[in-house]
Chain A
Amino acid sequence: MKSAKVCMVGAFGVGKTSLVRRFVHQQFDERYHTTLGVKIDTRIVDTSKEPVKLVLWDMEGADPFEVDKRPLARIRSYMKGAHGLILVADGTRPATVKTALGLYHDFCREHRVVPAIMLANKADLTAEWRFDDSVMPDALRLYHTSALNGQNIEEAFTALGESLSAL
């Protein structure tokens, strides 16, 4: 079976860990527990071709204003060898879109272009929703997801799986 390293990439607090928990374990914990380092989880998705084993690297979030350079250095090292990227932004915090896109562009420059999708997470918070769909580059597919209620998560991960199976 094909195995693909997929990195969850984005600013801190956007919900990367929650998305993986929901996708892999069907669980959600609303407490915020910041990720330090990386946790690797796997799940197989069915595609039109063959099943693909997604090896999900859930890593700590980036902070664009962080004076300490170590988190970003770690993030860069975790992203090495990734076959696909899942960019995660918080739909209630517009600035996180830029962070995710920045990491994506840095990776493409440093390594190569890989299949990627953008998740605008926390779609359940409709009153605070500030995500502007129009800022998305055309090449990236966008999904409004919610780790809380599972909205669009299967679709998003499966779609990436589909792209990865084609490679």
Chain B
Amino acid sequence: MKRVSRRAAHYIRDELLKRERFIVIALNSGHKIVSVNRSDPDWNLPGLIRGSVLPDSLVSLLDAASDASEPTVFPYVELNDFFVDIHVLGDRESADLVIHDVSTDHHNEQILQQRAHENSLLSEQRAALNSELTELNQELFLRRRQAEKASAAKSRFIASMSHEFRSPIASIMGYADLLQTELPDSNNPQALQRASWHLLTLVENLLEQAREGKENISLNPTRFSLDRLAGDIEALFRPQSTTKGLAFEVKSSPVGIEVECDELRLRQILINLVSNALRYTRQGLVSVHFIHRDDNLYIRVRDSGRGIAAGDIDRIFEAFTRVGEDTTSGAGLGLTISRQLINRMGGHLKVESEPDVGSEFRVVIPCPSTQAKPGEMPSLSGTVLWVDDDPDILSLYQVILENWGLRVITASSVAQARDLFNSNDCPLVVTDIHLMDGNGVELFSHLKVQRPDIMGIVISGSGVVDLTEEVAGEGIRTFLQKPIDAEVLYKEIAAAFAGDQPEHTF
């Protein structure tokens, strides 16, 4: 701007003075105001009077502006209600203060600054809350882990204790059995058995609870007589009901059938339900009915006890909960366990009850009745070498023997038989007499030299009678004639592998 003409410089100055307001104060060395010049006659600041001393705040400014070589500017200084930029020119001896009104700029910038700072403070707050939240979460997580560990430890403890109990109980039951044989006329050993079942049930309940449904219990169906189960339940609980002066009946129909179901678990359920019924009944009757129909077992346990209020019916199934005020015995597990077991067995449980009248528990469990299934022979195991030059015979009997669980190696000639015998372990050899390249009996003799302990069955397609003389040699258990009866074959092979002595030796 050095090269502009004076005219231009003045013009710029005048324009500037139109838009902006300035006050210029000239000072002497004693901070006294020598002159005050205002570009806008309507704008003045108090305390700025010619001849008076500069106000303290402005003196402070002057002292701060120690560098005389260059003007010092103090932006955005608040003076009364105005914001001004204060430019200090000169030095201590003689200074000029140029006061420039920047209130509008200040106002605009302050709004932006305010917003920015408020946002920043909110962000900080949020960050602080977040980190507090994270800390709390971590603590919560740790606490929960601890609680889970403690709970698991407790469950393990209960489970291991329950396991410990099973052993001696099993022992007691075993001895009760022995006693029964020693004292066939006494009823006491059986009573001992039943009480042991009861104890076992309580232990199983504990064990069940400790599992907390984590493991899937595998069911173990066994065949048993429904009459016997009903009888056991009756005998188990009769003493208790007599003592309490209650009528007690157990009925089962149809008579004389066997069913297939997890007997242990079923006993557990029954003992739990009947115990409950007896516990909560002071007078009247407890009845237990079993009905087997359509491959289902229907059980109904009815009592004339104090009943359950409608609102409490769901609660009775909660673990460790006993509804009602009196402190009757029992851990509060029985119904919980029973329902779990019934569900696990694929059945369901319904309760109907009326306070002061009684309750009825109805259970349905799928439970097929048993009949002997045809064709179920116990499986065999072992390896058989079957030699016959007729592939139709080989394929048929291979199917049959493999179905029985045996491993079958087939050969259609003496040569092949010997090869296969060498490379496999075949304790039993079944061979046709007539082979393409030789005689089955001779084959067997050769093989027996190699392995003296092998057994043989010889088969012929024609009348056996002629052949007994041809045949000599130990180890051949029997002759069978085609067509071979499967039952006979099964028996012979089973006997061979069982090491039974054959009926005749040849």
Residues of A within 8 A of B (CB): 3, 5, 12-13, 32-34, 36-42, 53, 55, 57, 60-61, 63, 65, 74, 77-78, 80-82, 93, 95
Contact = CB atoms under 8 A, between A and B. Distances in A.
Interface in B101-136: 106, 109-110, 113-114, 117-118, 120-121, 124
A116 B117 CA distance: 26
B56 A3 contact: yes
Given A3-B56, A81-B64, A40 B77 contact: yes
A34 B57 contact: no
A41 B113 CA distance: 22
B141 interface: no
B117 A13 contact: yes
Contacts of A93: 124
Given A39-B78, A40-B57, A74-B76, A5 B63 contact: yes
B63 A36 contact: no
Nearest to A70: B75
A21 to B, nearest CB: 13
Nearest to A80: B64
A34 B117 contact: yes
Nearest to A37: B76
A63 B158 CA distance: 62
Closest 9 CB pairs of A and B: A37-B76, A81-B64, A40-B57, A39-B78, A36-B110, A55-B60, A34-B117, A80-B64, A34-B114
B439 interface: no
A135 B117 CA distance: 26
B74 A32 contact: no
B421 interface: no
A78 to B, nearest CB: 7
A42 B56 contact: yes
Contacts of A82: 64
B57 A42 contact: yes
A80 B73 CA distance: 12
B113 A36 contact: yes
B133 to A, nearest CB: 15
B83 interface: yes
Contact of B75 (A37, A40, A42): A37
Nearest to B75: A74
B60 A40 contact: yes
B114 A38 contact: no
Contacts of A57: 60
B66 interface: yes
A32 B118 contact: yes
A55 B56 contact: yes
A53 B101 CA distance: 28
Contacts of B124: 93, 95
B77 A12 contact: no
A81 B64 CA distance: 5
Interface string B50-77: 0000001101110111100000111111
Interface string B7-42: 000000000000000000000000000000000000
Contacts of B76: 36-38, 60, 74
B134 to A, nearest CB: 16
Contacts of B61: 40
B63 A38 contact: no
B57 A55 contact: yes
B106 A38 contact: no
A156 to B, nearest CB: 21
Given A38-B78, A40-B78, A5 B60 contact: yes
B114 A33 contact: yes
A148 B276 CA distance: 70
Contacts of B106: 36-37
Nearest to A130: B128
B64 A34 contact: no
Contacts of A38: 74, 76-78
B401 to A, nearest CB: 85
Nearest to B121: A13
Given A5-B60, A63-B120, A34 B74 contact: no
A87 B215 CA distance: 66
Indicate the member of B60, B66, B106 with the most A CB atoms within 10 Å: B60
A63 B123 CA distance: 14
B77 A81 contact: no
A82 B83 CA distance: 21
26 contacts: A3-B56, A13-B120, A13-B121, A32-B117, A32-B118, A32-B121, A36-B76, A36-B109, A36-B110, A37-B78, A37-B83, A37-B106, A38-B74, A40-B60, A40-B77, A41-B57, A55-B57, A61-B117, A63-B120, A65-B120, A74-B75, A74-B76, A77-B73, A77-B75, A81-B60, A81-B65
